[in-house]
Amino acid sequence: MNKDFLALSDWTLEDLESIFSLTRELKQKQKEGTPHPLLKGQTLGMIFEKSSTRTRVSFEVGMFQLGGHALFLHSGTTQMGRGEPIKDTARVMSGYCDGVMARTYSHQALEEFAQNSYVPVINGLSDLYHPCQLVADIFTVTEHKEDYRNLKYCWIGDGNNMANSWINAAALVGFELRIASPKGYEPDKEIVALAKKSGAKILLTNDPREAAAGADVLNTDVWASMGQESEQQKRAKAFTGFQINADILKLADPEAVVMHCLPAHRNEEITDEVVEGPQSIIFNEAENRLHAQKAILATLMAH
């Protein structure tokens, strides 16, 4: 397993299964109230360029439950925000912290940070990938489906960092993935090509109905991600018809589950009815961010 976790492609399937096993164990300990101070006395530095609810709270609470401490740093209030080179901040923070989690706009900046860091660096979200969310998502599927590897996964919406991460997951795990995006909003071509080269079963379509047909897992995200707010109206027009609703759900397998990484713009990319419906595992998925990330932290940072 790599020192850092910047993308799912950093790991093998064996690594992922090991994380799932530890996630299961830590979740059970949490439910029982059994202490699990695997990172006692350790500190995680958390750098945020973007707003956050789930990422900040889950990492902060996770470090506390593991017996450590999390330090919140907004990039605008650090010297990086005043032009300090990334490599300088990375080396300095490595001397203070046992690990770093960064939520950035630029994936390239995150890679530069990791290259110059002496301690593990975790991608809390970048413009290219959101790997911690994917670990939580797939783990959640394992709790609801017998064999998560032999399912049909469907992504409806923007070809964003979440879609790219699902493509990485398809290459890693080997499941069938269908992605439906409007023309001009497809996922990163290089990431798709690389995944297909490794044998990933990926269908790209501009028809959400085709993607949803017989799917076991339906997934979506907001149409305009952070930093794209100015495109909201343009995107709302382009994404008409790309909503997970009762009609789309009827096309999927009758036992299909629905996920969303949140925050959701209800009645835009997904209807309120589906979010609150019996096939939704969205809030179970959100909770699992905590347990999955604790497993990631413990695996990368435990001495």
Q: What's the confidence (pLDDT) of residue 47?
A: 95
Q: Which of 235, 260, 289, 291 is catalytic?
A: 289
Tell me whether residue 261 is one of the annotated catalytic residues: yes
The secondary structure of 3-47 as a DSSP string is S-BSSGGGS-HHHHHHHHHHHHHHHHHHHHT----TTTT-EEEEE
Cα 40 from chain centroid (whole Å): 26
Q: Which of 42, 261, 291, 293 is catalytic?
A: 261
Q: What's the confidence (pLDDT) of residue 77?
A: 73
- Can you say whether the dihedral through the CA atoms of 270, 276, 277, 280 is positive or negative? positive
CATH number at residue 238: 3.40.50.1370
Q: Does the annotation flag 88 for ligand binding?
A: no
d(CA 160, CA 222): 10
Residues 64 and 190 in one domain: no
Residues 180 and 42 in one domain: no
Residues 108 and 181 in one domain: no
**Domain presence at residue 136:** yes
**Domain presence at residue 1:** no
**Domain presence at residue 3:** no
Residues 166 and 262 in one domain: yes
Residues 207 and 138 in one domain: yes
- Can you say whether the dihedral through the CA atoms of 128, 265, 154, 275 is positive or negative? positive
Q: Does the annotation flag 299 for ligand binding?
A: no
What is the DSSP code (8-state) at residue 80?
Answer: G
Residues 121 and 161 in one domain: no
Q: Which domain holds residue 224?
A: 132-282
Tell me whether residue 266 is one of the annotated catalytic residues: no
Q: Which of 107, 127, 130, 137 is catalytic?
A: 130
Q: Which of 112, 134, 116, 115 is nearest to 125 (CA)?
A: 134
**Domain presence at residue 194:** yes
Q: Does the annotation flag 21 for ligand binding?
A: no
Residues 94 and 200 in one domain: no
Q: What's the confidence (pLDDT) of residue 64?
A: 98
Tell me whether residue 65 is one of the annotated catalytic residues: no
Q: What's the confidence (pLDDT) of residue 81?
A: 64
Tell me whether residue 133 is one of the annotated catalytic residues: yes
d(CA 110, CA 106): 7
**Domain presence at residue 39:** yes
Q: Does the annotation flag 226 for ligand binding?
A: yes
Residues 20 and 74 in one domain: yes
d(CA 285, CA 218): 13
Task: Give tens-digit pLDDT for 20-58.
Answer: 999 999 999 999 999 999 999 999 999 999 889 999 999
What kind and span of H or E run contains 162?
Answer: helix 161-173
Tell me whether residue 279 is one of the annotated catalytic residues: no
Q: Does the annotation flag 79 for ligand binding?
A: yes
Residues 76 and 37 in one domain: yes
Environment class of residue 2 by beta-carbon count within 10 Å: exposed (0-12), middle (13-18) or buried (19+)? middle
Number of domains comprising the chain: 2
Q: Does the annotation flag 221 for ligand binding?
A: yes
Q: What's the confidence (pLDDT) of residue 68?
A: 98
What is the DSSP code (8-state) at residue 154?
Answer: E
What is the DSSP code (8-state) at residue 149?
Answer: G
Residues 117 and 182 in one domain: no
Q: Does the annotation flag 55 for ligand binding?
A: yes
pTM across the whole model: 0.96
pLDDT means per 10 residues in the chain (303 residues)?
A: 95 98 98 98 96 96 98 82 86 97 96 97 97 98 97 97 98 98 96 96 98 98 77 90 98 98 97 98 98 98 88
**Domain presence at residue 2:** no
Residues 16 and 82 in one domain: yes
Tell me whether residue 103 is one of the annotated catalytic residues: yes
Q: Which of 103, 107, 178, 235 is catalytic?
A: 103
Residues 211 and 237 in one domain: yes
